[in-house]
């Protein structure tokens, strides 16, 4: 079997051509840019201002240990929201029509602990192409051997309890990024079955230089400035990353590992016989689509269907696009998976963890 997959669209579906044409007509008729509007710029300034304020409050606020711990947790959540609302759009070249603006905002990813170059490969290229395909989409490999998120993975005895321990493990995602994951992915010969390129020299420099900057800002400076013990620092650092990792992990899992989402396999010839866009509908789900708070905090990633179909369009436009996508999917007899609230999506993910931890799966 070939390791490079192709979407052959055996049924000759015209769904994507149709929905893209209708999306284009919407932007043309409304005289709208596909990129950030005033509201988007306002969100960006809000989250960046919150990040700076929380960081400075921790360094110079002279609060009680309990308050400092709470501020560390809030800073972790703010880092996740910056990732969702600013960096994610910028890395997809969706924030601005100006690539320099996107490049500048994508560099903020380093300040939340992740390498933007590695993310572009693992997420933009691999995950968006091979969504939920076991062995290809490494984003569904969360703590391999501990958490089973696909029926293709071998079942381990302890995974019958994964519905209980998976959530704390999600909280380690950010810490893994900072200390391990980016280095491992950077030097892998392939990600999933996608060969990694010969990295430009500047990306080697960027990887180590920006990691060093992160360690200075979030380890060296707090230890030098704050009058705290080493264990208090470790507790605060772990709290920041646990909150950040849990927020990041849950938003991803609720979009791809809930009831109804598929984990399709290629045929014997190594082909995915459906169209790529149809594959996205079968492997992706929205949650809390009517919640203004979820849309504000998650950077539109509660509408993952629209994001996967139109990753180069700024997320502030997803509410309008969702009506177009839903109507077109129904017209073509295709699924449009959706959980009405964050809580219902969370329950669905819990049930999936339970099901995938049982021998029948």
According to the model, what pLDDT value does residue 77 have?
Answer: 97
Whether the pLDDT of residue 361 is over 60: the answer is no
348: pLDDT strictly greater than 50: yes
pTM for this entry: 0.93
Q: What is the pLDDT of residues 281-306, one digit of tens each?
A: 999 999 999 999 999 999 999 999 99
| Neighbour-count burial for 137-149, b at 16+ CB within 10 Å, e otherwise | bbbbebbeeebbb
Q: 231 pLDDT band (50/70/90 cuts)? A: very high
Average pLDDT in the 155-174 region? Answer: 93
CA 294, CA 287: separation in Å to the nearest integer? Answer: 9
Q: Which of 318, 28, 278 is nearest to 132 (CA)?
A: 278
- Please tell me the total number of residues recorded for the chain in this structure: 361
Q: Report pLDDT digits (tens) over 319-334.
A: 999 999 999 999 999 9
- Whole-number pLDDT of residue 2: 45
Q: Which residues of 46-57 are buried (b: 16+ CB within 10 A; e: fewer)?
A: ebbebbeebbeb
Q: Using alpha carbons, select from 214, 218, 207 the residue that is nearest to residue 181.
A: 207
Mean pLDDT of the chain: 93
Query: Sign of dihedral through CA atoms 136, 142, 148, 150?
Result: negative
Checking if the pLDDT of 171 tops 70, the result is yes
Stated as kind and residue range, the H or E segment containing 285 is strand 285-287
- pLDDT exceeds 50 at position 61: yes
Task: Tell which residue, 319, 293, 292, has the closest CA to residue 306.
Answer: 319
Which among 336, 303, 329, 323 is positioned nearest to 16, based on CA atoms?
329
Q: In Å, how far are 33, 136, 141, 162, 284 from 151, measured between CA atoms?
A: 42, 14, 12, 14, 17
């Amino acid at each position: 079997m070939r390791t490079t997959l192709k979407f052959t669209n055996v049924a000759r579906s015209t769904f994507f051509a149709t929905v893209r044409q209708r999306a284009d007509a919407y932007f043309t008729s409304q005289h709208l840019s596909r990129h950030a509007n005033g509201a988007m710029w306002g969100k960006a300034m809000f989250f960046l201002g919150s990040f700076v304020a929380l960081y400075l409050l921790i360094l110079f606020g002279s609060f009680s240990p309990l308050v400092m711990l709470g501020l560390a947790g809030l800073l972790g959540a703010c880092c996740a929201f910056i990732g969702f609302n600013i960096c994610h759009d910028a890395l997809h070249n969706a924030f601005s029509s100006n690539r320099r603006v996107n490049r500048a905002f994508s560099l903020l990813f380093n300040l939340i602990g992740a390498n933007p170059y590695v993310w572009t490969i693992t997420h933009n290229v691999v995950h968006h192409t091979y969504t939920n395909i076991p062995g290809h989409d490494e984003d569904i490999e969360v703590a391999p051997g501990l958490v089973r998120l696909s029926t293709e993975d071998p079942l381990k005895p302890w995974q019958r309890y994964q519905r209980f321990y998976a959530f704390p493990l999600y909280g380690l995602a950010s810490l893994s990024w900072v200390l391990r994951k980016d280095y491992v992915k950077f030097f892998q010969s392939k990600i999933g079955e996608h060969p990694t390129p010969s990295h430009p020299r500047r990306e080697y420099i960027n990887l180590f230089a920006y990691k060093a900057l992160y360690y200075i800002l979030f380890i060296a400076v707090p230890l030098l400035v704050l009058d705290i013990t080493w264990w208090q620092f470790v507790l605060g650092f772990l709290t920041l990353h646990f909150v950040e990792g849990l927020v990041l992990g849950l938003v991803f899992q609720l979009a791809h590992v809930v009831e109804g989402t598929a984990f399709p396999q290629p045929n014997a010839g190594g082909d995915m016989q459906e169209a790529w866009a149809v594959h996205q509908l079968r492997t992706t789900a929205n949650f809390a689509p009517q919640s203004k708070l979820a849309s504000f905090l998650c950077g539109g990633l509660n509408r993952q269907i629209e994001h996967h179909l139109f990753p180069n369009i700024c997320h502030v436009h997803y509410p309008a696009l969702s009506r177009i996508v839903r109507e077109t999917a129904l017209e073509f007899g295709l699924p449009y998976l959706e959980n009405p609230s964050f809580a219902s999506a969370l329950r669905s993910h819990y049930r999936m963890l339970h099901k995938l931890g049982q021998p029948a799966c």
